[in-house]
A and B are shown apart, each in its own frame.
Chain A
Amino acid sequence: MNPSDLFRLLLPEAVLLATAFLMLALVAVPALREGNPAWSRLLALTGIIGAALMLLIPLAFGAAGTGSANVLMRPDSLADVGRLWIYLLAMPGLILPGKRSERHGFEQLALYLFAVMGLSLAVCADHFLMLFVALELAALSIYLLAAWPRTREAAAAGIRFFLFGAVASAFFLYGCSLIYGAVPDLTFPAVFEHLSLGQLPDFAVLGVLMVLLALVFKLAAAPLHGWAPEVYEKAPARVVVLIAGASKVTATLVLARLCLFAFPQLAGSAAWGSMKPGWSLWFAALAVVSMLWGNMLALGQRSVRRLLAASAIANAGYALVGFAAGGPLAITMAVFHMIVYALATTGALVIVDRIRQTQGSDDLDAFRGLARRSPWQAAGMVVCFGSLAGLPPMAGFFGKFQLFATALADGGNDLLWLVGVGVAMSAISLYYYLRVLRRVFEGGEGESEKAVSEDGLPHAALWPVTAALGLGLLPPVLLGPLGLAMAKALSAIPPP
């Protein structure tokens, strides 16, 4: 592929980069140096919309997703769908109003765009080091954003996230070096080819495990979830939206690419009675631990943001069930599940942030009487939490149901043990989602109705809530393109 083609395929990232630099340049204007005007967010939003258009316009003309390999990048159909959803999921974070007193608004938003760009590049990466650089670009921006308000809380969240993240990065790099010891070429196709010819030595398999663990950290799957509750609770809402949404979907897509494009031969098996070591089995183990740990942790939470962190751990576990099944269909469903989860969580986080502003806390009891104070926010909560709990007609219902069904079909019915754990845990999860929803609809009789019932659904929640409901009524809108993209991307590589 010649450089101009590559540039054309990476136009979305170029738009993001240009917008970010423009925002940094604006800081030079003395009047804007300390400010945080509303149009700064609009500008950043325009950047993301522009990036999305750069993806969609070639699609409309049938020119995108050629999938031809470059040494570092493979902006194929899967990457296109992935990038589009990363942008879509990053938008609510920009619509979310920051605190008026917040300083350095432009720099903050530039960092946000850098983070989105990093995530966007990560799903295109076709080389371990390219992947590393892209993920680090996103991660470093996110660490900074988490600690941005310079309060004790935010700093604690930022530092904790950074320390865990640094360890994960070290894992990733060390894993890469081990793989490099066996395959003197770090592109995914090279690893794939090497594996087609013969086994990897044990130390390189360890390297693969380390790389995967570093990515599982991004998913916040147990036992690598230690950062999640604190970051979710204390970091600014904007960055939590990014962490819970776009970043999770990226990690899932990257895992999908690694598992299906780089080393599908190392799958092993998690089937009951015929287990073979490999990533299938590792993911199965992580899935069980995550689902158990996340759901148990969530049962006792009073802070709804912490509850969402625990639910993130649990949902990472459900997604890993798809990976444990190992087939492309199950992994597609895992990606679908993660996107749907990200939408619902984003919507929930935005509404919770609004509650935190109006009620001064995100404790369970702060939600009492929400239905009376603001029926639209209550409706939003029902959609988001209903989707997380997997109730129809919300998207989470189809996502979870089909994820489990496909895991059974892909992994053979011998995966019933793992699906059984997942189904049982997701049944338990309804309890803590209902604990929140229950409060939304009770009490509040004493409050003056007129004064507060004007408070509608926050604008940032509008799109995720609509999507969480709409994708439940019409799942093919997402599943169709996603399945096609996966099939098309897979057809570009030789079968393992």
Chain B
Amino acid sequence: MNPLWTMLFSFGGALVCLLVPPSRPTGARWIALIAALGGLVAALLAAARHVPGNPWVFNVPWIPEVGIRFHLAAPGIGIALMLLTGIVGVAGVLYSWNVEKEPRAFHALFLTIIGSVYGVFLSRDAFLLFCFYELVILPKYFLIARWGGKDKEYGAMKLTMYSIGSSALVIAGLGLAWSAAGAATFDIDELASAAPALTVQMIGFPLLCIGFGVIAGLWPFHTWAPTGHVAAPTAASMLLAGVVMKLGAFGILMVAIPLFPDGFAAWAPVLAVLAVVGILHGAFTAYSRRDLKFVIAYSSVSHMGFVLLGLATGNRWGTGGAVLQMISHGLIAGLLFGLAGRVVYDRVHVREFEALEKENLWGRLRWGAVAFIIASAASMGLPGFSGFAAELSVLLGCWSAFPWLVGPVVLGVITTGAFTLRAIQKGFLPGRQPRAASATTPLPPLTWPEISATIVLLAASLAIGLYPAPWWAWVLDGLYQPLLP
């Protein structure tokens, strides 16, 4: 089973989901779970068989007239991100076990997104990568607009318009790169070796960087993220924050920087400043919000700021840390959204701190509260969890590239601690407010899909935090070589 199977399982599973008779909704759930597990197993096998420096490659012509190839490869970085996608995919299916409205279509769309995300992480042809990148747009829209919560229409449309705006910039940027390289190839490696003129690079890099950056939550183009995450159904929030935002960062790392290295060198300080503004803005806004999902959404913007900052440093520590942070944040944001949306909201139907305080979650949903507290600790970047290793590396990279930015970044880290602790205290610890009359009846206990999804995500985050070595090896192996000093 080669890495191609990750995509085959997902897209195939999506098709099979649609074929399930409508009278058997649970069938669709099981098929989705099997497909997601199949993807994860394929990713694990790929990781086990991975030989550093000699990745798996699949390369056949697709549209030879213009030099587009169906070129997939799984270098270490792709392996690491495939594992992330697999884990979040499985957890997402488990957390959406209780979706009652048209589960077939829901899971089909969900698996389509997962499959496209695998596709992006594996692509080594710029057009192919962009194709998968675009394939996410419609399923994302329908997942939110159809199954979302409050303001779902607005959130879905806003997200879609931002995505398509992002695509417009990427089209222009890729067109420039293709044309500058002699209009004969879309292969990323060949495009990268073409080294376009500096004027082209100075225009091309911002086009691609902002284009992909929109999806990565680059300030000031991040505003789709809070509304989109909050309006989305739980599994879609997990996917959006967990893996879809990573597509943007991946695009910057694997397309924008290699294609326009000189443009990157010139624009890197601007990107770094925007990233730090994003870190601070996300953290402060998260502190000012009183809705649990909004807090998590803004914390995502803040954490993605670390990814972008790491990419902007352009050195080994920063870039590696950025990739590690992508994985770490993918797991933790997925977990937080899953807990907030599925475990808490679907039981008590409130998300505001004032209301949550009265719900006495510590007493009535002890294990849910414990899980959320552990997840929050991971999100704060406590040692032992993946976030710690990742953010520390990014900070180290930042020290050598932009020492003047370290101060604001540290402020961002402190604020992150503040809003996370407040969320724990308001929502999940015993409150001082008088308890509502309804708050004494026990809540439905955690179900097996919830428990297993939570354990999978927490375990993965802990595993990376306690023993980051294999992940570092993958990340450093897969990093685009000329990028590193």
Contacts and interface: CB of A to CB of B under 8 A. Distances in A.
Contacts of B127: 401
A424 B130 CA distance: 17
A184 to B, nearest CB: 40
Nearest to A449: B22
A58 interface: no
Contact of A427 (B66, B138, B164): B164
B400 interface: no
23 contacts: A391-B138, A392-B135, A401-B171, A405-B66, A405-B174, A405-B183, A408-B178, A409-B183, A410-B183, A412-B179, A413-B203, A419-B172, A419-B175, A423-B169, A426-B168, A427-B161, A434-B157, A437-B138, A438-B145, A441-B142, A441-B146, A442-B145, A479-B66
B44 interface: no
Interface residues of B, number: 37
B382 interface: no
A393 interface: yes
B63 A442 contact: no
A402 interface: yes
Contacts of A392: 131-132, 134-135
A434 B160 contact: yes
Contact of B164 (A382, A402, A430): A430
A437 B183 CA distance: 35
Contacts, number: 96
B379 interface: no
The 10 closest A-B pairs by CB, nearest first: A409-B179, A409-B183, A405-B175, A427-B168, A408-B179, A423-B168, A408-B175, A392-B131, A427-B164, A430-B164
A406 B134 contact: no
A279 interface: no
Interface string B102-133: 00000000000000000000000001001110
Contacts of B200: 413
A329 to B, nearest CB: 8
Interface of A: 329, 382, 386, 391-393, 397-398, 400-402, 404-410, 412-413, 416, 419-420, 423-424, 426-427, 430-431, 434, 437-438, 441-442, 475-476, 479-480, 483
A491 to B, nearest CB: 17
B135 A442 contact: no
A315 B81 CA distance: 38
Residue from A419, A420, A437, A438 having most chain B Cβ neighbours under 10 A = A438
B165 interface: yes
A329 B175 CA distance: 14
A401 B135 contact: no
B18 to A, nearest CB: 9
B172 A442 contact: no
Contacts of A400: 171
A271 to B, nearest CB: 13
Nearest to A336: B65
A202 B186 CA distance: 43
Contact of A413 (B131, B138, B164, B180): B180
B186 to A, nearest CB: 9
B167 interface: yes
Given A391-B134, A398-B63, A442-B146, A404 B160 contact: no
A437 B145 CA distance: 11
Nearest to A403: B175
Given A391-B137, A427-B164, 18 more contacts: A391-B134, A392-B131, A392-B132, A402-B66, A404-B172, A408-B176, A409-B175, A410-B183, A413-B180, A423-B169, A426-B168, A430-B137, A434-B157, A437-B138, A441-B142, A441-B146, A476-B65, A479-B65
